[in-house]
Amino acid sequence: MFSSILLAIIVSASIDSTMLRIGDQTDMHLRVTQDASERVEWPVIGETLQDGIEVVDRTIIDTTTLPDGRLQLNQYLTLTSFKDSLFAVQPIAFVSDGDSFFTQPMALNVIQPFEVDSSMAITDIKDIEKAPIWWWGIIRWILLAIGCVLLGVGIYYLARWLESKYKPKEEEEVNPELLRPADEVALEKLDAIKATKIWKDGKVKEYQTELTDVVREYISRRFDVQSTEKTSDETLRAMKPLIESDLYSRLSKMLQLADLVKFAKWSTTPDENESALNAAYEFVQETKEIINDENGDATKVA
């Protein structure tokens, strides 16, 4: 590596490897150190550095500020050669304000790694030959893939079958209330509401909600009408053909009063609250399912 010094500008060049095999590559490092105020023109290097030496790639010129405030500019050229020869790399010129700065000449030795028999006649290059298709190999891989898929599916279903056969069945949890007659559960809940009478504490909305919830749950079990999932109007339409008109009228009045309290902020009187509770009791007691016992006596059960 050689540096040319004039004023505040230093240029240098170096080659990573000065001996190459034909077709191999090496990097040339170009460096300029200058004051920040200086302007240096870099050489224009095309696809060849010189005859026999090709430039296959290059980096952009990057700039680094040194601790003393000066600038250092760097660029890498990737070189290759396909000629067996010892090259004298010519100095590379940089220009600043009409002055030229040259790097020192370098040597690059490109060698032929194998011997060429020059006694043999020159022949044409052979045509490109297509490799034959290895059908048996393709079919074998397809069959192997299908076999793996079938094996995986078989293992999956075998595991499912063994799991279902030997895994102990979990007993489904049954709501204890569903094991008791519907009227018994409803009357028990109505007794609890009657005992608390939360409407007396100003909780009229909560009272009406609890009361109609009990009636709706009873209707769902007794008449198989999913009243808990229906509006009051939908429940009444479903119940109309199932109960007598007088009982239907009382049920309608009770549900409509609850809707007024819950959705229209209706203020009820103590008598209306008591009447709604009595209507709920009467509805449950008058709609118990009637069956005959072993003696032929009729009994209402839910």
pLDDT tens-digit profile of 24-47? 999 999 999 999 888 999 999 999
- Asked whether residue 183 falls in the same domain as residue 297, the answer is yes
Query: Does 62 reside within a domain?
Result: yes
Number of separate domains in the chain: 2
Domain-ending residue, one of 111, 126, 155: 111
Inside any domain, residue 83:
yes
- Among residues 188, 196, 198, 261, the alpha carbon closest in space to that of 218 is found at 188
Q: Give yes or no: residues 191 and 296 share one domain.
A: yes
Q: Domain holding 55: CATH number?
A: 2.60.40.10
Q: What pLDDT is attached to residue 299? A: 47
Final residue in a domain of this structure, among 75, 93, 111:
111
pLDDT for the residue numbered 160:
87
Domain for residue 214, yes or no? yes
Q: Is residue 104 part of a domain?
A: yes
Q: How many residues does the chain have?
A: 302
The tens digit of pLDDT for each residue in 198-210 reads 878 888 889 889 9
Answer yes or no: is pLDDT of 118 > 70. Answer: no
Q: What percent of the chain has pLDDT over 90?
A: 45
pTM of structure: 0.42
**Nearest 5°: phi and psi at 251?**
-65, -40
Tell me the pLDDT tens digit for each residue of 45-100. Answer: 999 999 999 999 999 999 999 999 999 999 999 999 999 999 999 999 999 988 99
Within a domain: 288: yes
B/e letters for 76-107, b = 16+ CB within 10 Å, e = fewer, are bbebbbeeeeebebeebebebeeeebebeebe
Last residue of a domain, one of 60, 80, 111: 111
Per-residue confidence (pLDDT) for residue 1, from 0 to 100: 39
Mean pLDDT of the chain: 85
* 183 in the same domain as 70: no
What's residue 121's pLDDT?
Answer: 72
For residues 80 and 17, what is the distance between their CA atoms, to the nearest angstrom? 11
Is 93 in contact with 44 (CB distance < 8 Å)?
Answer: no
- Residue 74's pLDDT is what? 95
Q: Which amino acid is at 107?
A: A
pLDDT at 119: 72
Q: What percent of the chain has pLDDT over 70?
A: 88
Taking the C-alpha atoms of residue 72 and residue 184, their distance in angstroms, rounded to an integer, is 97
pLDDT beyond 70 at 300: no
What pLDDT score does 80 carry?
95
Residue 195 covered by a domain: yes
Indicate whether 161 belongs to any domain.
no
Residue 42 within a domain: yes
Residue 272 sits in which domain range? Answer: 176-301
Identify the pLDDT of residue 124.
Answer: 75
